[in-house]
Amino acid sequence: MFYRSLKSSSKLVNFEEAVKKGLAEDGGLFFPKKIKKLKKEFIENLENFSNIDIAYEVIKQFIGDEINENDLKNIITNTIDFDFPLIDIEKNVKSLELFHGPTLAFKDVGARFMANCLGYFNKKSNKINTVLVATSGDTGAAVANGFLDVKGTNVVILYPKNMVSEVQEKQLTTNKKNITAFRVDGTFDDCQQMVKKAFTDKELNNELNLTSANSINVARWLPQMFYYFFAIKQLKINNKKIVFSVPSGNFGNICAGAIAMKLGLPIDQFVASTNSNDTIPRYLNSKNYNPKKTIPTISNAMDVSNPSNFIRIEEIFQDFNELKNCFSSYSFRDDKTLKAVKSVYKNSNYILDPHGAVGYLGLKKFLANNSDFIGIFLETAHPIKFSNHIENELKLKLKIPQSINKILKKEKIFTDLSSYNEFKNLMLNFG
């Protein structure tokens, strides 16, 4: 498999180079040169395959011959050794729970897959790679966990000050070893801009061999396709069309879903459900892409006003009208999000996290005018990560999972910074 830059298709790289570089030399995101549909017989018989076999069939064309079958299956086994249950919430409304991994968030899959791939490639190299990641909450935690003690890697995490939950910050800053955290005086978009600038900084790249573990990296992004196949495997389709509602921040998750659809998975519609950061809902209504200043919300992992992966979605669909036919997008404020948490608990005895609540709201809004669909929303994080909001709204105390209990008493270790120059100097000294 070869990958090209979305800024210029002239130079092609293989999977290993795309993983190690993160971004193309021209600053563009890598995109597969070709996407081949999976066999119809495979799609129609998913229930007869294990999750390991499904994931292997889904991902193998994007790896090519760079990782042999046995090693790739071992990587997948190490990546998805937990459950992805599909839970009935209401009639025609189901929750796909993606928070049963080690850091209790959907990003465990991509982070672990990338860490295992990079570890595999580093076996034949003495170079140290610096994995650079911006996070609005869950990405950094998943990357820190996935890359902890991985051979040949140092991990640097940038996160926005006062814009992640206490649990998330503990997960980001208590790892030590090969994990370093920087707390940025700004928003996620500021963190992401520093990461992008670093990749075009030749001095920094030459010194540190940078790669990214954000969803801009193909090894972080593409494994998120697995969720959609696992959901369809569990779904008993009853001649209804299928819609997925995806809580969307940097749009990597929903973009992976669009690739799954291109592979032949029977998905008829996507709903990009956002919080108050509504760039994409406004764009789909006006065809005017106009990011505004990022607004902090209780669904903080979605506090992104200029989503990096949207350019990949446009590449998948090519035409604005084709995109509109497959995509709906709605925005919800925090007050609506909390009302949804309360109503779903009251009516279904199910506890949503704020991100899943946004996904639920988007799905309900779509289904209101499309009763011939069956809907799945993605529940992307465990409610404990946002316990203050959830417990206040529901007037209850959440049980703390053992994995969280272990880190709550640990000391947070981070370095504050406020500018790219400050960041660069710290990184050069770090190297």
C-alpha Rg value of the chain to the nearest Å? 20
Residues pairing with 210 in the sheet: 130
Supply 119's token pair.
């570890």
Residues pairing with 374 in the sheet: 242
107 is catalytic: yes
Buried b (16+ CB within 10 A) or exposed e, 369-408: eeeebbbbbbbbbbbbbbbebbeebbeeebeeeeebeebe
Angle at 379 between CA 377 and CA 385, to 5 degrees: 155
Spatial distance between the Cα atoms of 354 and 378, rounded to a whole number of angstroms: 11
Q: Is 274 helix (H, G, I), strand (E, B) or coil?
A: strand
Strand order in the sheet with 12-14: 12-14, 2-5, 30-32
How many Cβ atoms from other residues are within 10 Å of residue 162's Cβ? 8
Angle at 250 between CA 245 and CA 251, to 5 degrees: 40
How many Cβ atoms from other residues are within 10 Å of residue 234's Cβ? 15
Catalytic residue, from 21, 94, 107, 424: name it.
Answer: 107
Pairing status of strand 179-184 against strand 415-417: parallel
Supply 20's token pair.
């190690």
Within 8 A by CB and 6+ apart from 415, the residues are 180, 181, 182, 183, 426
How many angstroms separate the Cα of 356 from the Cα of each of 361, 362, 383, 404? 9, 10, 9, 20
- Catalytic residue IDs: 107
